[in-house]
Chain A
């Protein structure tokens, strides 16, 4: 072995397996070669390790096991993962599988949640065309006031409804609109997609909860006013359309064409296909006790019975949107009596504006005067909404405050939520030409004690807007 290859004997030095000749050559060379000497010095550490019989035994055991492995069964596939490349590959595959599993789960969760989100959206007061189905199919036959609390499908609406419970006012059947979108409808009442309308009807509660302590304001339903066959509280028999109420004393906005159309009585149209009215509501007394104090004018908790709009658009003729309004005062015994605007206004806190619609609709009332800018009168600004849902077939009262000068209430009624208006837009509001208006007074030949005005918009468009202007002079 050449001198420069003596380093190959270093392995034998550590294991102490050099022959005497190799040892002599290696050490002699180390004394003359510093690098070899240094290498031998470094090998001394290993030499000492291997000189320990215990260490040598452990190493031998391991080497014997490794040597026996090829002759035995194949190495486990897990051994392959001990190599960094294969370990990285395995890690990458594991991450990919985890991502797929997680992504699949998220996708399934999203699919599972999508119906719930749709339900949440459906709880919004999106318009659904009124149903032409028989009342028994869409509306519970039991009186609404006696119905059990409705099962509310949507938690958001529930919380909103509950939060507004204490805000109920006189005319307790009127509820604060809880899910109306304030700005969803511009002045022109844009049409709503049929899909949205169809969804709106699905999750609407079927019943409304009774509102204890609320002034249902069925002024005309009290014994103070003798019940008349043609009273609006009384559900119209199927033959109602044939019934001709007393001739209206007041005419509609003045249109000659509308005068000709008066043959179709607004009141008759109002009750013509009225499925919502409650039989037991007729003649009922006000639920508030005589000592109850009238609350301030605020929108009541509104819970539209959208199930009543379950009919799909176009599936049946749309019932004309109708409004009945009047004025009433509350007697000391809690009963209500219809009267004229001046009397109601002079009665102070006991006076109120009564509102009834022939189907679920969104209500908004503006107050205009000659000396001040229009203001949103109902719902009040502190309600945080621009319109409230009024259930069809329920008369509700909005208390007056003391007024010293004449003013005009502009009532907007629509099947879709009503947005706010600018002063100019309020001033430009005009009564649609296709509206019918009919005022019924107690001195009608038929002997009716009713004192109210009926307004019908004959337009069957789902987004039609009924506008009524009520002049009030103290």
Chain B
């Protein structure tokens, strides 16, 4: 079944609101969801494909959640000043963001070193852009599910070595 843009945005709104509500209070979650949809509607009206629109929604959602988190930290959660008057920060030029990114990369490198040989081999193929079917062939596996399972385990192991979060 092919979903059109309105259906995709409707589904996205429901998922984003549920996700945001689980991590923020209700009102900020609704605001966050609305902000994401506004961006998708106003800046990316030409994106209709599911495989493009959903990743784009995740990207916008993450930016908005980071902004909401930073603003709540900077101004405190009980500050009633409207965030609409505050321009969105440019994360690329934020020293704090750059530092966090650098630290995350370092932690990722350390975690990668602690992985087993198979996981490191699997991640190497993935970082080289190999798809799962290609990795299956490279690793000599007859079943693609084996690669899926290995990748899932290696991903969980890496996430654990990273402390349970990619950030």
Binding site for B on A (CB under 8 A): 1, 5, 7-12, 14-20, 22-24, 27-28, 30-32, 34, 37-38, 40-50, 55-56, 58-60, 62-64, 66-67, 70
B75 at the interface (CB under 8 A from A): no
Cα–Cα distance between A290 and B133 once the two chains are bound (Å): 123
New A-B pairs, 5, CB < 8 Å, besides A11-B154, A38-B19, A66-B117: A8-B152, A30-B15, A41-B61, A63-B120, A66-B112
User: Which residues from chain A contact B133 at a C-beta distance below 8 Å?
Assistant: 19
Cα–Cα distance between A44 and B36 once the two chains are bound (Å): 15
User: Which residues from chain A contact B161 at a C-beta distance below 8 Å?
Assistant: none
CB distance from B100 to the nearest CB of A (A): 10
Smallest Cβ-Cβ distance to A54: which chain B residue? B105
B59→A44 contact, CB < 8 A? yes
User: Which residues from chain A contact B12 at a C-beta distance below 8 Å?
Assistant: 31
B132→A12 contact, CB < 8 A? yes
CB distance from A361 to the nearest CB of B (A): 83
Cα–Cα distance between A43 and B165 once the two chains are bound (Å): 9
B123→A44 contact, CB < 8 A? no
| Candidate in A41, A56, A63 with the most chain B CB atoms within 10 angstroms | A63
Q: A30-B54, A41-B58, A43-B166 are in contact. Are A8 and B148 (CB under 8 A)?
A: yes
Cα–Cα distance between A466 and B113 once the two chains are bound (Å): 91
CB distance from A463 to the nearest CB of B (A): 80
Q: A37-B15, A63-B112, A67-B120 are in contact. Are A42 and B166 (CB under 8 A)?
A: yes
B37-62, CB < 8 A from A: 50-51, 54-55, 58-59, 61-62
Smallest Cβ-Cβ distance to B11: which chain A residue? A31
Render B126-152 as a binary contact track against A, CB cut-off 8 A, 1 for contact.
111111110000000000010011011
User: Which residues from chain B contact A5 at a C-beta distance below 8 Å?
Assistant: 145, 148
Q: A10-B155, A31-B11, A31-B12 are in contact. Are A64 and B166 (CB under 8 A)?
A: no
Q: A49-B101, A64-B124 are in contact. Are A8 and B112 (CB under 8 A)?
A: no
Q: Which residue from A14, A42, A63 sits with its C-beta under 8 Å from B124?
A: A63
B109→A48 contact, CB < 8 A? no
CB distance from A345 to the nearest CB of B (A): 99
User: Which residues from chain A contact B149 at a C-beta distance below 8 Å?
Assistant: 8
CB distance from B79 to the nearest CB of A (A): 26
B62→A60 contact, CB < 8 A? no
User: Which residues from chain A contact B104 at a C-beta distance below 8 Å?
Assistant: 45, 49
Cα–Cα distance between A18 and B155 once the two chains are bound (Å): 15
A18→B112 contact, CB < 8 A? no
Cα–Cα distance between A63 and B11 once the two chains are bound (Å): 39
User: Which residues from chain A contact B8 at a C-beta distance below 8 Å?
Assistant: 31
Q: A17-B129, A22-B132, A70-B117 are in contact. Are A34 and B166 (CB under 8 A)?
A: no
User: Which residues from chain A contact B24 at a C-beta distance below 8 Å?
Assistant: none
B19→A41 contact, CB < 8 A? yes
B126→A15 contact, CB < 8 A? yes
A1→B112 contact, CB < 8 A? no
